A and B are shown apart, each in its own frame.
Chain A
Amino acid sequence: MAANNWIPIQTISGAATEYSFTSIPAGYKSLILKGNLQSATTGYTVEFYLRCNGDTGYNYQDSDFGYQLNTTSLRTNGAQSVSGGTGGFVGASYLGDWGSHVEIHMFGVDNTDRYTTWAGTSAVGGGGNGYNVTMFGGGIWQNTASITQIDTLALNANANSTLTLYGRK
């Protein structure tokens, strides 16, 4: 029964400045991004964002909360009129082979009465003195168009990264 499926649309793996899922077919009630990501950007952790249909304008809202880096201080953040919504937080170049679990559920993707909205989690353990991620994040693209393309922003994926786009009918 297709309605119960996670239908794989496209998998992108390996080193790339950004991952771009293009020519996304119509007909899905929701889209899911799930994978294991790490950034090659210098640092311990990196926040990456999502953009829709190639829109680079300030047409997004985003928010996130949870813990990341090596602190026990709760991070809370939200912004309107930004150029991408939060995709997640992943480990960066200082962490070696230390991939983060990322899972993002997107709704309103083929509903022209609704903005596209997403919510997700990202997580990787770093241990007691290490750098870690346990974050909730989400975003809104303030546009009711059907989704045909999803791009990451500020990801800079390393060679071990992989991310799959699934659709649910």
Chain B
Amino acid sequence: MPLGAFKATVLGAAGSGGSGEGGTFEWIGGATVSDSTTNSINISGFSASDYQEWFFRWSFAGTNPTDINFRANSDTGTNYYSNEWWTYNSNGGANGLSSHDQLRMVWTGGTSSGYAAPVAGIVSVSGANVSSKPSFETLTYRSYDTYSGYGTFDFGTTLRAVSAAVLTSVDFFAQTPSNYFDVGDTVQMFGVKKTSD
């Protein structure tokens, strides 16, 4: 495990539901940063075959501003075809990246250390447990910081161009590795079960 990485392994799905109707929406697992030298969070060990929908909710304090990026299955290859658009105050922009090695979830342009701006988002996944290429959709909000004068809403998406890519792990990591996460920063994973408990 590289320096600065935080790894959480899901040993068993939490929650029970038990309605008998199937489709239990439940918390699968999560990770919360507990030291000041973490720059990535990995969640793995969950069973893709148990779920048909996937969601992530995450919240970072943003003391060390940096773009927050996402990878699936620890894939660092150039398999990500991403697009995003964002608004900041009354402005906006759009960007696309072919054959990239990650999905960016929020743009923190113009920021500087010491100008914290909390950032939070959701990731919704489709095609992650079937034999097609999965698509990831991210919605992220970063609050206003007084250095850049920006408060950013970002709508991002990526196609991971790998077929039969059943989701087995995810990584949330800092674009600038030395910009560590804050203690208490958290990523939580939820799913909809295929069958009832």
Chain A residues proximal to chain B, CB less than 8 Å: 1-2, 4-8, 34-36, 66-67, 72, 74, 97-103, 121, 123-130, 132-134, 136, 160, 162, 164, 166
Contacts and interface: CB of A to CB of B under 8 A. Distances in A.
Contacts of A66: 85, 155
A121 B139 contact: yes
A74 B155 CA distance: 13
Interface of B: 17, 19, 21-26, 52-53, 80-85, 92-100, 103, 124-127, 130, 132-137, 139, 155-159, 163, 192
B57 to A, nearest CB: 15
A166 B192 contact: yes
Contact of A134 (B17, B99, B156): B156
Contact of B94 (A4, A72, A129): A72
Contacts of B22: 5, 7-8
Closest 5 CB pairs of A and B: A127-B98, A123-B157, A132-B83, A36-B127, A127-B81
B186 to A, nearest CB: 20
Contacts of B130: 36, 162
Contacts of A67: 83, 85, 94
Nearest to B131: A160
B159 A98 contact: yes
Given A5-B23, A164-B52, A125 B126 contact: no
A35 B163 CA distance: 16
Nearest to A163: B126
Contacts of A123: 135, 137, 155, 157
B125 A127 contact: no
Contact of A126 (B17, B92, B96, B155): B96
Interface residue SS majority, chain A? strand
A11 B137 CA distance: 21
A6 B192 contact: yes
18 contacts: A5-B22, A8-B22, A8-B52, A66-B155, A72-B85, A72-B93, A99-B132, A101-B157, A103-B137, A121-B124, A123-B157, A125-B96, A125-B159, A126-B83, A129-B98, A132-B96, A132-B157, A134-B84
A124 B25 CA distance: 24
Given A5-B23, A74-B85, A125-B83, 19 more contacts: A4-B26, A7-B19, A8-B192, A67-B85, A99-B135, A101-B124, A103-B126, A103-B137, A121-B124, A123-B157, A125-B96, A125-B158, A126-B81, A127-B98, A128-B98, A129-B96, A132-B83, A160-B132, A162-B130
B102 to A, nearest CB: 12
B17 A5 contact: yes
